[in-house]
Structures are given as structure tokens and as C-alpha cells.
Amino acid sequence: MTATIYLDYAASTPVAREVVAAITRVLGEPVLAANPAAGTHAPGRQAAAVVERARASVAALINADPDEVIFTSGATEADNLAIIGTARFRKSRGRHLVTALTEHKAVLESCRHLAGEGWRVTWLRPGTDGLIAPAAVAAALEPDTVLVSLMHANNETGDVTDVAAIGAICRQGGALLHVDAAQSAGRLPIDVRAMQIDLLSLSAHKLYGPKGIGALFIDRERVRRVEPLLFGGGQERGMRPGTLPTHQIVGMGEAFRIAATRIGEDRLHVMRLRDRLWSRLQAIPGVLLNGHAGQGTSQTTGHILNVSVAGVEGESLHAALEELAVASGSACTSLTDEPSYVLRVLGRSPALARSSVRFSFGRPTTDREVDRAADVFNRAVTELRERAPGSGPPFTQDGEPAGTLLARGEAGSEEAGTRVVFAARVREGRVASLEARVFGCPHTRAACDRAVQLLTGAAVAELGRLEPRLLGADLGIPPEKAGRLLVIQDALRNCLADWDNAQLKPAP
């Protein structure tokens, strides 16, 4: 077993060596163990000083002032605080928000929460190009719009929103603009002044920093304050109380300091890898690009390549890609069992959303890893297609021994997630051989294999008697998937019916 190739940098990145060193230094230095809020003694002031140095590094990457950055537990919390905190602080000015259906769950769920409190939310849908057009934002603004929340770079496709144009529109319309920059910070230049961004969410672990730390930029003049979500000791000007985690903050500061020095170099590196992988995958028929990664540079971050594969079932595809640590649109490996809502909103069918694969690249990614990933992917798709319903053996009577009857039965559909085709050779009332072609999850495939085993050599009538629940129990298939096994039963019964019909015809 070769080591897994990690291509999931959009989900999290390894902590940079220098960052580990910085964190270790803080943890190993007794003086820095003081509470940074303990300004009455020297160790407390020293801890506060390293926190402030980190705050300055984070601010510098986005051209903000250090006192406009408050630390949170990550971008999820920053998104919650930006949206819920701003809305509640400004509720006397209006009750309307604008966001998009392609946002991260942290934004969607925050907006949904406010909708439950009586806020009106406009959920923008991307245009045919997959992007949120500035004109669509302008059209959505109402006199009482308090906040527009749109991400800079999408975490599934890497597609980039024109936040500068949207910033100008929000200023004109009197609304504040919040931007989730968890994927773009350190990957694309961000200037909150030039882009007219009022609030901006950041995460350390997407940029070679530690998990559990992030930040929210809050424009000093335009926003001033947000209503806190937590209550306690008044840290971070009361907007995010709680003892500051000095080592985490120093780690984030170091990660952001490094990112600032190599943003161009990092971008060229991942774009080259993405183009290298896409040039290989593009050659495989039925591999479709999700997003703009293949079309120039300005519309994407460059670190993500998201593709869907036609004619291949998502869970089986991901099972076949076990050697690769990639993100999937299918149920088997992700927390929710709906196929990627982002790809659905972008117009992909449920089947294509489920058969999507997100490759994402980082500083450590090499050409060799990308080439291996392309080989593994190519092999997986080829093997799955060889056993898919579309590629059955030519089903004619030619060359069959006298007395052989051919029967074929199918059931299900690819859109519904399962399609099965059985082909049987029947001689003297027995199943001489049986073949299955499957578009389905690994469980369905295993159940089909078992059916073939059980029925080969059996009396032909057995085709109509196979009990799918027995197959399921036998193979340890979870009950919630048992419905898929009914497709196998239907296909076998159709196969038997086809044999019945064939018998009525004159022998060839």
C-alpha cells in the first residue's frame, strides 16, 4: 500500500515548519504563559506584545489596521459574528440581507438563523457563468439592506467573485459588505480599502497555520462595532470575549507573515499543478470541469480543480480513488448525504454533483503527485466504465451453442443513483452464465456480484425469487441502503420475463 496523496488543501493545510517553531516557542516560554489581558505585570504585557505583533501581520496581509482585526476560533465563527453581530447591532436601520446560494455553510446557516428571527434574506443565484454578477447585487439592494455577504473565492470551485465591483455598489447603496476570504487570503491579493470591504473573515488553517484560530476584520469607521455572540471578560473590545490563545494567535500571525512574502510564488506553483492535472483529465471522455479553473487566471484562485465524471457513480468513484485524499460530492465520505449543493446550484445534475471530485493543491504538492493522481483517476474511471451498463457485451445470438437463450433485464436510472443490467445465458432451463453491469454505489456493486454467484447454475426461475433483503444482510449493507437492492430484484425479474418472451419466439 503506497502512501495516500494529499490533495485536499482547500479543506486544510499542514502547519508550516516556521509556524510550528513559533508556536512551540510560545508554549515553551514560561513568561509567555501569562494572560495577555494581565496588563498589570510584565509577563502579561509581554504576552500581549506577541499577540499584537501577530495581529499586525494578519492586518498587513489585507491592508487593514491592527486594531480592526479581532481574533476568533476560525472563519466559521468570524462569519457568524460578522453576519449575526452586524445584523443585530444595526437592526434599527433595516431588516434585509443579501447573500448567495453558493456560500459556505457558515454564511448560509447564519443568514438562515436571522431569517428565523424575522430578517428578509435575498439568496442570489449565480449567473450562467457560475459567478455572482455585481449587477445582480445592485438589483437586490433595498433601502433597508443592512448587509451583503459574499465570499471572495468559492471553496468548492475556487471561482473568484468580483468583490471590488460589489464593494463599490454596496457603498453606493448604503449597505455594508462582508466577505468570507477563508479560501482566498494568502492566495490572491486582498486590500480591504481598495476593494471597499467592511468586514472580512479569515482562517489560519487554510493557510499553513493552526486549526482553531481565525480573525474578523471590522472596518473601524464604517462598521465600528458588532453585537457579540459571546459574553464574558471584555477581550477584543467586548466583541469576542475569552482569554486569547497566545500560541494559536502567534501561529496565525507567522502563517500570515509568510504568506505575504510568497503569495505570487504560491499562486504560480498551484496554477501550474492545476493546469498539469487538467491537461491529463481533460483527455478522458466525459470529464467535465466545474467552475472556471480551465479558463484563464483572473476568475480562479488556482489551487482547486473540481471535475465531474459522466457515467460513473459518485460513491464507487470515490471508493476507487482511495489512494487520493480528495474531496467528494458523494454521500459515502462526506458528512451530509446531499450531493454538493454548490454544484447543484451551478447547474449540475444530482448524478454529476455526486460524481464530482475536488482536487486542491498546496505548497508541498509535486508534479509526481499530480501525475500519480491522474493515473489513479484514469484507471478508476476506466475500470468503473468497463462494468457500467453502457458497456455490456454485444448481446446477440451469434456464436452461442444451439439451445442457448439469451435474456436481458434492467432497472433503475443513473439520475436516481442506481442502474443495473443483467444478461443471462440460459440452457436447458438453467442459468449457464450471468453477467451484471452496474452503475451504483459499492454496496450495490457487491450485491450484484453476490447475485451473480448465487444464481449461476441455478434454475432459471430462481432469477425471479432472489430476496434482496437476504443479499443485504449477508453483505452487511446498512438498512437505509436496502432500497437500492430492490433495483437488483427488479432487474433480475425483468431478465426472467425476457427469457419467458424469448421462449415464445421461434428458435434461431
Catalytic residue positions, numbered: 332
Please name the residue that has the C-alpha cell 502563517.
Answer: 255
Q: Do 484 and 443 touch, CB atoms closer than 8 A?
A: yes
Q: Per CB under 6 A, does 106 bind ligand PLP? A: yes
Q: Grid cell 462494468 — which residue?
A: 387
203 binds ligand PLP (CB under 6 A): yes
The least CB distance from residue 285 to ligand PLP, in Å, is 31
Least distance between ligand PLP and beta carbon 180 (Å): 5
- When the beta carbons of 97 and 327 are compared against ligand PLP, the nearer one is 327
Closest CA to 17 of 256, 336, 331, 255: 255
> x-or-dash pattern for ligand PLP, window 16-55, by CB under 6 A?
----------------------------------------
Span interacting with ligand PLP, options 200-208, 268-276, 342-350, 472-480, rule CB under 6 A: 200-208
Q: Give the whole-angstrom CA distance, residue 104 versus residue 146.
A: 20
Task: Return the residue of 8, 159, 162, 180 that touches ligand PLP, per CB under 6 A.
Answer: 180
Question: Locate cell 492566495: which residue?
Answer: 187
The only residue of 96, 206, 354, 419 in contact with ligand PLP, by rule CB under 6 A = 206
Least distance to ligand PLP, CB of residue 123, Å: 17
Question: CA 375, CA 280: separation in Å to the nearest integer?
Answer: 9
Residue 196 near ligand PLP by CB under 6 A = no
Q: What span, in angstroms and rounded, lies between the C-alpha atoms of 198 and 214?
A: 17
Q: Applying CB under 6 A, which part among 202-210, 283-291, 319-327, 429-437 lies near ligand PLP?
A: 202-210
Distances (CA, A) of 189 to 83, 170, 255, 274, 298: 23, 20, 15, 19, 12
151 binds ligand PLP, rule: CB under 6 A:
yes
Is 104 one of the binding residues for ligand PLP (CB under 6 A)?
A: yes
Number of residues interacting with ligand PLP: please give it, by CB under 6 A: 15
Q: Which stretch binds ligand PLP (CB under 6 A): 20-28, 198-206, 387-395, 446-454?
A: 198-206
389 is an interface residue for ligand PLP by CB under 6 A: no
> Distance between terminal CA atoms of the chain?
51
The CA dihedral of 404, 408, 409, 415, to the nearest 10 degrees, is 160
Instruction: Tell me if 137 sits within 8 A of 148, measured CB to CB.
Output: yes
CA–CA distance from 262 to each of 256, 257, 297, 397 (Å)?
Answer: 10, 9, 18, 66
Q: Whole-angstrom Cα distance, residue 403 to residue 384?
A: 33
- Interface pick for ligand PLP out of 15, 75, 199, 327 (rule CB under 6 A): 75
Q: Does 156 bind ligand PLP (CB under 6 A)?
A: no
Choose the stretch contacting ligand PLP; rule: CB under 6 A; options: 180-188, 192-200, 223-231, 288-296: 180-188
CB 413 within 8 A of CB 350: no
Q: With respect to ligand PLP, which residue has the nearer C-beta, 274 or 484?
A: 274
What are the φ and ψ backbone dihedral angles of 178, each rounded to 5 degrees? -105, 135
Q: Should residue 358 be labelled a site residue for ligand PLP when binding is judged by CB under 6 A?
A: no
Binding flags for ligand PLP, 448-487, as an x/- string (CB under 6 A): ----------------------------------------
Q: Of the candidates 183, 301, 308, 328, which one interacts with ligand PLP according to CB under 6 A?
A: 183
- If one asks whether residue 355 binds ligand PLP (CB under 6 A), the answer comes out as no
Are 339 and 307 in contact by the 8 Å Cβ rule? The answer is: no
- Consecutive H or E run containing 27: helix 17-28
Give the three-class secondary structure for 151.
Answer: strand
Positions touching ligand PLP (CB under 6 A) are 74-76, 79, 104, 106, 151, 155, 180, 182-183, 203, 205-206, 214
